[in-house]
Structure 1
Amino acid sequence: MEQNNISPINRFWLLLKPDSIEIRNVYIFAVLSGILSLALPLGIQAIINFIQMGQVSTSWVVLVFLVVLAIGFSGVLTIAQMRITENLQQRIFVKSAFEFADRIPKIKMEELIKRYAPELTNRFFDTLTIQKGLSKLLIDFTAASLQIIFGLILLSFYHSFFIFFGLTLVVLLAFILKITSKKGFESSLNESKYKYKIAHWLEEIAHARFSFKMAGNPELSLTKTDEHLNGYLTARNIHFKVLVQQFSFLVAFKVLIALALLIIGGFLVLNQSMNIGQFIAAEIIILLVLSSVEKLIMSLEVVYDVLTAVEKIGQVTDIELEKYDGIKIPESESGFEVLIDKVSFQTDLYRNPILKEIVMEVAPNQKVCVVSDSTVSTNTLFCLIGGMYPINVGNISIEGLPIGNLNIQDLRNEIGNLLLQDRLIHATVLENITLGRKYATFEEVQKIAKIINLTDAINNFSEGYNTVLNPEAHFIPQDITKKILLIRAFVGHPKLVLLEEPTITLNDSQIHELIELMNYQPNTTIIYSSKEDELMKIADKIIVFEKGKVVFEGTYQSFKAKK
């Protein structure tokens, strides 16, 4: 659910809204615990009065028992709060993990072009910050706030002066928060920004570890790290100054309040407006209130961290997603018909358009080979056919329906692809092939693996199809990787297959296996890019791109004659 232009505080409440009943219970327990905490000063006041009588009575014993019981029950309520908060923390973690896993594949590609997707996933770790801060906010922060409120209410019953004291305390506390909280949040957000820059750069070093290792002793890794660290330390110092300023206000505030209360409380006792028991009880309440104010101020760093974390996660959940509410593509026994009508496409990265008024007609079950002077052009064309980007100019129709009107998710279920962006993931061989698609059966996977002569290689893995592949560490041969990705493209009997430079890393015999695979499903339309002569021979049509424009369209024979 997208929540654009929402304040971090509102984001936080929206995060907790599904668990409003549990939150309510936490607050109820906090109120009860706050009321019970007042039993200590009131009990001490009454006990002192009994002690002044100079004798032990049943009332004194009962009172001591009740005070101790109230303290114990208050602890039980706190444990109940901890249990509820733990449940909330677990739910937030699970919800965040599922939301990231669900949203990231659905984010519009034009949005991801502006960002670095792996860096976005780092925002997930802000969930841990929310988890840790939630208990403090719901238990410590709430308890401190209620202790202040109940303490001030109780003090007002001792003398009218304490009503003025309570109002002054609330006004000063609100003033401190008002003048420092906004700057504190902004500095916390800026600090977090640099933390992510550092994490992003360290990931880049890890991704390019071989390049850095083979470069000898490159300084770039340390130079860029130092640059980001300087930014982080500057932002952190600014944020720390805000925290010190808040605590400085607190120290001055505590000194003034303690001084005023000791002097005025003493006068009230001397004037017999209060007795000794009331004075001691009032001083205990005042100490509890001041201690709660200190907890409140010291908890502000946690508040900033939680609100910053919520805002950082919100920057991911705010990114616009693809819409899957279009027309369901009609069922067909044959491959898809693809019509491309004067399509042009340009991005901010290049000065000239990547595609210029492309016109193509691909009949059902045809094999069309695209020969291009640039992989950028063919890759962009295939991405547009797959609905990955919005079309700038022109139109693409699948089965006579404009691609913009189709349910893109439904369309992609019928498309198999092997593009330059496709890669193996850290999962089993079978999971790498099926990607969890239910229509991709194991029997068909085995059949295609046999066609492209991959069965022996898979059986050679330690656990066959259940072997977990780590593409970063296992040094899987490129031809094996390519064949696994080819099975992924053809499994499930797709109506349209898009292959980008499928012969790269394949030798002559493997190319013939690929051709056999391309002929394996006759009711499939295949569009592929290649300059390999063997693949051009089997094409029903060859289309040549130069500088993003179609300069030739015809058969293999006419293409050879032209050359």
Structure 2
Amino acid sequence: MHPWKRLLRLLRPDRTDIRLVIAFAVAIGLLNLTVPIVTMAVVNTVAFGTLIQQLIVLCLGLLVALTIAGVLILLQYLLVEYIQRRIFIRVASELSYKLPRVDLKAFDHRYGPELVNRFFDVLTVQKSSAVLLLDGVSLLLQIGIGMVLLAVYHQLLLGFNMLLLGALAFWVVVLGRGAVRTAIRESVAKYRVAGWMEEIARHPVAFKLAGGPRMAWERAEALTREYLEARKQHFRILLRQFAFLVLLYIVINVALLALGGTLVIQGQLTLGELVAAEIVINLILATFLKIIKYVEAYYDILAAMDKLGQLQDLPSESLTGEHHVAHSKGASVTLHSVSFTYSGQKWPALQQLSLSISPGERVAIVGPNGAGKSTLADVLYGLRTPQSGWVEIDGVDIRSLRPDSLREHVALVKGVEIIEGTVLDNLRMGREEISLMQIHEILAKVGMLDTIMAFPDGLHTMLWGDGKPLSLGQASRLMLARAMLGEPRLLIIDEALDHLDEQFRDMTLATLLGPDTPWTLIVITHSEAVARQCDRVITLLPPARSSPREVQSRAG
């Protein structure tokens, strides 16, 4: 979608307020016309030596008109502020709704946090739209009203207006060609620099290696050069537009003075009309010189909409389908010839994989790296859709289920995903029905209760994105506690137990494998000690070693 269409769609809910802003701008422009009109009247009054009372009336009229204009300017400013707030709210609400539902394949070749940096372009949209609505509209109206006023003075000045309009059209269509494209290119280069800075901050240890600082500097320099080149191309267009406006300012000022002076000498124009016309044309031309700032803001807002569009266009999971209503303890799982290949990969991650897991069964999935174990976890959780074959949970094809309904029954523990918030926030994750008693019980079962309560703020201790102040093992146990609190009917653990000390691993396993637990358990692990405690062990081998996929199963 073109950035202009995106902008119109974003501003559509504010169209009533935008119309009011434009109406106020028209009224302000008309009221400001009193300045040249009163000036002309004062000049004529003084020239003909009329009474002082007439001068007082003119000044009072000007005072009233400008006071009303001032009030309208304040109201206009207030309306634009409300529009800016609503723009931020709409974009933030849309993305906070969309991002949890984004299809995982959208992040296969892009780093999600870096991509989400585009959200900050909403500030550009806010500020640029405010500038264009407050000043840009007013300036365009000043030009239009000024041209009408010039045409009233003399018919020759009407031709002058046509010349101005033609020059303006040439300025926009011809001299502005390619400006939006170069503005977008500049924005892309800017985010590449920001992305590299984020990459440096994300891997502080790696960049402390012997050649790390040099690599950081050299890549930053190369990306900065790309940005400067993109900025140079964009500025070249802005410069030629501005140079044309300066030339127009000089030529038209001289031409109007010559034409106006000739008309006064010939008696076709009064001295007051000439002075007023000079004031009007100087206002118009001064406005022309200021337009470049607002045109650049317009280019920036379109480039910002292009960046926000990258987030808005992220593919979402389907929200259609049936609700899964089974409530028995433990879910059954069946895979029918499931195959999955990542985009751009030669070998499939899963190939013709078939297996069946009974309700309440405890199964370990083992195998070498690259065997597709984590991909299997993603498929079972509904994060990825097989290219062929299908998966059944409780005898229901998960493709026919709503993803949110499926995940009310299935939980996946995959890596450490700590949100910036309290321990309580990280455990509940929006599930306010989970009681503090349940939280205390589950923390005790994974050996985390004493650790958490030892913090000065207990459950209200703030955690940061990297898990601090918790260690990696403690954060992993917190992830397991989070999943178990939801009492899922299918619990999938992707190597989360492998990071735990033997003492805490055995304690957590005792909870996971307990006879009263409500789930079917699938544990992906490299630990033989973990696998031995499961009912069954399934070994996956990479497609490069077996075609079709070889599945070995043995009793635990």
Calculate the TM-score normalised by the size of structure 2. 0.96
Give distance in 2, aligned partners of 1:240 and 1:356: 53
Alignment correspondent of 2:458 = 464
Give distance in 2, aligned partners of 1:182 and 1:402: 53
SS of the counterpart of 2:497?
coil
Alignment correspondent of 1:84 = 79
The aligned length equals 550
Instruction: Tell me which of 105, 123, 135 is aligned to 2:100.
Output: 105
Q: 1:349 to 1:528 in 2, by over 3 A?
A: farther
SS of the counterpart of 1:511?
helix
Q: 1:157 to 1:309 in 2, by over 3 A?
A: same
Asked whether the equivalents of residues 498 and 526 of structure 2 are also in contact (C-alpha less than 8 Å), the reply is no
State the one-letter code of the partner of 1:437.
R
Is 2:327 the partner of 1:346? Answer: no
- The answer to which of 184-193 and 371-380 deviates more is 371-380
SS of the counterpart of 1:390?
coil
Instruction: Tell me which of 184, 196, 199 is aligned to 1:189.
Output: 184
Is 2:258 the partner of 1:258? Answer: no
Instruction: Tell me which of 301, 312, 317 is aligned to 2:312.
Output: 317
Alignment correspondent of 1:434 = 428
Alignment correspondent of 1:240 = 235
Give distance in 1, aligned partners of 2:524 and 2:495: 5
Alignment correspondent of 1:417 = 412
State the one-letter code of the partner of 1:166.
N
Alignment correspondent of 2:22 = 27
Cα RMSD over matched residues?
1.7
Is 2:530 the partner of 1:530? Answer: no
SS of the counterpart of 2:493?
strand
SS of the counterpart of 2:540?
strand
State the one-letter code of the partner of 1:509.
Q
Alignment correspondent of 2:138 = 143
Alignment correspondent of 1:373 = 368
Give distance in 1, aligned partners of 2:430 and 2:256: 69
- The answer to which of 99-108 and 210-219 deviates more is 210-219
Instruction: Tell me which of 379, 385, 388 is aligned to 1:390.
Output: 385
The structural deviation recorded for 1:364 is 1.2
Give distance in 2, aligned partners of 1:341 and 1:107: 26
Give distance in 1, aligned partners of 2:371 and 2:81: 50
Q: 1:535 to 1:298 in 2, by over 3 A?
A: closer
Instruction: Tell me which of 311, 336, 342 is aligned to 2:331.
Output: 336
Asked whether the equivalents of residues 335 and 495 of structure 1 are also in contact (C-alpha less than 8 Å), the reply is yes
Alignment correspondent of 1:553 = 553
Asked whether the equivalents of residues 439 and 492 of structure 1 are also in contact (C-alpha less than 8 Å), the reply is no
SS of the counterpart of 1:219?
helix
Instruction: Tell me which of 448, 459, 462 is aligned to 1:454.
Output: 448
Is 2:371 the partner of 1:357? Answer: no
Alignment correspondent of 1:560 = none
Measured against aligned partners, the alpha-carbon deviations of 1:172-222 in whole angstroms (never above 9, x if no partner) come to: 101111113331111111111110000000000001112212446631100
Give distance in 2, aligned partners of 1:257 and 1:376: 75
Give distance in 1, aligned partners of 2:467 and 2:349: 35
Give distance in 1, aligned partners of 2:176 and 2:481: 56
The structural deviation recorded for 1:24 is 1.2
Instruction: Tell me which of 40, 44, 52 is aligned to 2:47.
Output: 52
Is 2:487 the partner of 1:483? Answer: no
Asked whether the equivalents of residues 496 and 526 of structure 1 are also in contact (C-alpha less than 8 Å), the reply is yes
Percent of pairs with identical residues: 30
State the one-letter code of the partner of 1:364.
P
Alignment correspondent of 1:500 = 494
Alignment correspondent of 1:515 = 509
Give distance in 2, aligned partners of 1:322 and 1:313: 19
Alignment correspondent of 1:229 = 224
State the one-letter code of the partner of 1:477.
S
Give distance in 2, aligned partners of 1:472 and 1:389: 26
Measured against aligned partners, the alpha-carbon deviations of 1:103-138 in whole angstroms (never above 9, x if no partner) come to: 222111112213221121110111111121122100
The structural deviation recorded for 1:309 is 0.6
SS of the counterpart of 1:553?
strand
State the one-letter code of the partner of 2:551.
V
Asked whether the equivalents of residues 141 and 295 of structure 1 are also in contact (C-alpha less than 8 Å), the reply is no
SS of the counterpart of 2:153?
coil
Asked whether the equivalents of residues 416 and 488 of structure 1 are also in contact (C-alpha less than 8 Å), the reply is no
State the one-letter code of the partner of 2:431.
R
Give distance in 2, aligned partners of 1:109 and 1:287: 58
State the one-letter code of the partner of 2:114.
E
Give distance in 1, aligned partners of 2:211 and 2:253: 65
List structure 1 segments (4+ residues) > 6 angstroms apart after TM superposition.
none
Alignment correspondent of 1:280 = 275
Q: 1:473 to 1:180 in 2, by over 3 A?
A: farther
Alignment correspondent of 1:561 = none
Give distance in 2, aligned partners of 1:447 and 1:145: 68
Give distance in 2, aligned partners of 1:46 and 1:535: 96
Give distance in 1, aligned partners of 2:412 and 2:428: 13
Instruction: Tell me which of 155, 160, 166 is aligned to 1:165.
Output: 160
Give distance in 2, aligned partners of 1:176 and 1:533: 74
The structural deviation recorded for 1:404 is 1.1
Give distance in 2, aligned partners of 1:277 and 1:533: 99
Alignment correspondent of 1:559 = none
- The answer to which of 28-37 and 162-171 deviates more is 162-171
State the one-letter code of the partner of 2:495.
E
- The answer to which of 203-212 and 340-349 deviates more is 340-349
Measured against aligned partners, the alpha-carbon deviations of 1:368-400 in whole angstroms (never above 9, x if no partner) come to: 111111266110000011111121111111121
- The answer to which of 86-95 and 202-211 deviates more is 86-95
Calculate the TM-score normalised by the size of structure 1. 0.94
State the one-letter code of the partner of 1:555.
A
Give distance in 2, aligned partners of 1:267 and 1:101: 66
Asked whether the equivalents of residues 324 and 408 of structure 1 are also in contact (C-alpha less than 8 Å), the reply is yes
The structural deviation recorded for 1:532 is 3.0
